[in-house]
Amino acid sequence: MRFIKNRALLCHDFVMREIELKFRIPPDRLATLRKAVHTSSARRESLQAAYYDTEDRALARQAVALRIRREGRRWVQTAKAAGADTMTRLEHEVDLGLRRPPPDALPDPALHAAHPELHAALQAALASAGGPLRALYRTHIERTRRVVRVAGARVELALDEGEIESGTASLPVCEIEFELLSGSPAALLGLARHWARRHHLWLDPRSKAERGDHLARGAPPVSAARVGPVRLQAGQSPREALAVGLQGTLGAWLANAALLADAEGQRSDCVHQLRVALRRTRVLLSMFGDALAPPAAPGSDALEPPLQDAVAAAFRELGRYRDQDVLDSLIGGPLHAGGYALPPLTTDAPLDAVSASVRSIAFTDTTLRLLQAIVQAAEPAQDPTPAAPAGAPAAAPDGPSLRRWARRALQREWKRFVRGARHFAALEADEQHQVRKRAKRLRYALDFTRGLFPERRVERFLDALAAAQDALGTYTDVLMGQDHLRRRPMDDAAAAFARGWLSARREVTLKACERPLKRLLKVTPPWD
């Protein structure tokens, strides 16, 4: 994970690797936030920009943005692209001078040759383009900048208010960005946590280019983001493994939360994929969290609960909304076929409240704490051992190897699973649900560490585990349906119909768990 910022003046070009966080602002907090930003040292400017792409979105498909913007009296051409991690963006600016470009002028990608990485991304995207560049959308922004010094770092706050326009369609812009000018990313995160709590901000990683592209296309709700594959290398330390794993889950975490906050995504799938990211994060913290020293990042609080507990609380909060979809798919069809209706499940927490949940102070603070953990894990561990005298033999490595560390964590999860799986049918409903959750944790843990063990053995074990997990999931969903029907008002006929149908399904699905569980218990774990 790289946190680098280079700003070099090259023939009026600015080559940058930005480290930044972007937050949305609740309308009822905007006036207070303005006062906090509009200090005597703050600077205000009007920014008018046109963003360019091809008709087939050649640049957007590669997460590249190209714009020409008026900044005060000067005109600037800028290219941007995603960086190595969530907080980092690549940027290259070219000062075009005071003369306004002609209305039909197009940006020249060759001007960004001073930034080889960005220039290569531009060239690769345009090589497959289906047409010429043209202006697809424009932004009109009033920006207020203020520089804050904190914990030896300099952080620029940029409050943006305005709109994005494409034809007759428009989107409001009301956001604040924290950009690291110098110093440690930990200082940036500590400052951001303070401001987020004070002004009820919530994270939104989407750039104006991403939102503008969606507006210009008139696109339907965005599909949920999924956690991508992460592969470890045996030579990595447990700290490095934790940083890589958490960074891998963070992308889906932030993307789905932003869509849910704006009610722009496919709600049920976004909730599901966000919970998957949260569960995978919990597994990673359980496996490798001990590799981190006690947090000392700016903004941390010695009295706050462990990060693992905070992530678990966010997971449980979203579980209320996921249960509605499970129940609808489970008994909605049979009820409708029988002439009955399924009333809303979350009468005490409307489904629309999922947006408020991911915009909450608690959820945002948990996300920022996760970023702090990634920064901390990516830094070299402090070694209090004094250096050995010259010529002395090298000391043995202090901690266990990554493979040994992973083997120990996987064996711990496997033992817990086996204890319940051997006598699954005789367990109480709560204990049976725990077996299902342990199967999920085990699958996520092995999927993350699979590169450390023989691939064939991993595939054989994961196949057996997936079959058992599917059967357990179907059965425990029935248990969840029965539990909710006991706790909710329904008319007698519908309740009797649903309870009878679920009772019959419980016997069938419990029986269906026997064979895959027995098969799984006979497979030798790949780490054994």
Q: For the segment 220-231, what is each residue's pLDDT rounded down to a tens digit?
A: 777 888 998 887
**453 occurs within a structural domain:** no
Tell whether the model's pLDDT for residue 342 goes beyond 70.
no
Cα gap 478→506, rounded to integer Å:
6
**199 occurs within a structural domain:** yes
CATH number at residue 96: 2.40.320.10
Q: Which pLDDT does position 266 carry in this prediction? A: 57
Q: Which pLDDT does position 363 carry in this prediction? A: 96
pLDDT-based confidence at 36, cuts 50/70/90?
very high
Tell whether the model's pLDDT for residue 15 goes beyond 50.
no
Tokens of 443: 């699958």
Range with lowest mean pLDDT among 102-106, 123-127, 276-280? 102-106
Tell whether the model's pLDDT for residue 479 goes beyond 70.
yes
pLDDT-based confidence at 294, cuts 50/70/90?
low
**366 occurs within a structural domain:** no
Mean pLDDT of 374-396: 55
Tell whether the model's pLDDT for residue 245 goes beyond 70.
yes
pLDDT-based confidence at 489, cuts 50/70/90?
low
Range 238-241 contact pairs with CB under 8 angstroms and sequence separation of 24 or more:
238/288, 238/290, 238/291, 238/399, 238/400, 238/402, 238/405, 239/288, 239/291, 239/292, 239/377, 239/378, 239/381, 240/377, 240/378, 241/288, 241/291, 241/402, 241/405, 241/406, 241/449
Q: Which pLDDT does position 386 carry in this prediction? A: 40
> CB of 473 within 8 A of CB of 439?
no
Range with lowest mean pLDDT among 1-10, 149-158, 374-383? 1-10
Tokens of 32: 């207070």
Mean pLDDT of 92-104: 88
Q: Where are the beta strands (DSSP E) in 446-510?
A: none
Q: Which pLDDT does position 378 carry in this prediction? A: 83
pLDDT averaged over every residue in the chain: 85
**480 occurs within a structural domain:** no
Report the percent of the chain where pLDDT is more than 90. Answer: 62
User: Between residues 19 and 13, which one has the greater pLDDT?
Assistant: 19
Report the percent of the chain where pLDDT is more than 70. Answer: 83
pLDDT-based confidence at 12, cuts 50/70/90?
very low
pLDDT-based confidence at 87, cuts 50/70/90?
confident
From the list 362, 258, 266, the residue with the least C-alpha distance to 310 is 362
Mean pLDDT of 10-39: 81
User: What is the helix (H) or strand (E) element at residue 493, kind and residue range?
Assistant: helix 492-511
pTM score, whole prediction? 0.85
CA 64 to chain centre: 20
User: Between residues 179 and 334, which one has the greater pLDDT?
Assistant: 179
Tell whether the model's pLDDT for residue 389 goes beyond 60.
no
Q: Which pLDDT does position 98 carry in this prediction? A: 87
Mean pLDDT of 201-216: 93
Based on the structure, what is the number of domains in the chain? Answer: 1
Q: Which domain holds residue 166?
A: 8-219
pLDDT-based confidence at 338, cuts 50/70/90?
low
Range with lowest mean pLDDT among 236-245, 266-275, 435-444? 266-275
Tokens of 82: 């995603």
Tell whether the model's pLDDT for residue 238 goes beyond 80.
yes
Cα gap 241→127, rounded to integer Å:
36
Label residues 88-107 b or e (16+ Cβ within 10 Å = b).
Answer: bbbbbbbebeeeeeeeeeeb
Phi/psi-derived region of residue 11, left when phi > 0, alpha when psi is between -120 and 50, beta in every other case = left
Range with lowest mean pLDDT among 94-108, 155-169, 297-311, 353-367? 297-311
From the list 283, 248, 251, the residue with the least C-alpha distance to 443 is 283
CA 208 to chain centre: 18
**228 occurs within a structural domain:** no
**505 occurs within a structural domain:** no
Which residues is 23 bridged to in the sheet? 176, 203
Mean pLDDT of 276-298: 81
User: In angstroms, how far is the first alpha carbon of the chain from the final one?
Assistant: 31
**Which DSSP symbol is given to 222?**
B
Q: Which pLDDT does position 313 carry in this prediction? A: 93
**125 occurs within a structural domain:** yes
User: Between residues 170 and 11, which one has the greater pLDDT?
Assistant: 170
Q: Which pLDDT does position 109 carry in this prediction? A: 93
**400 occurs within a structural domain:** no
Cα three-residue angle 483-485-490, rounded to 5 degrees: 165
Mean pLDDT of 87-101: 87
Q: Which pLDDT does position 166 carry in this prediction? A: 95
Range with lowest mean pLDDT among 56-60, 152-156, 389-393? 389-393
pLDDT-based confidence at 392, cuts 50/70/90?
very low
Tokens of 362: 């608690």
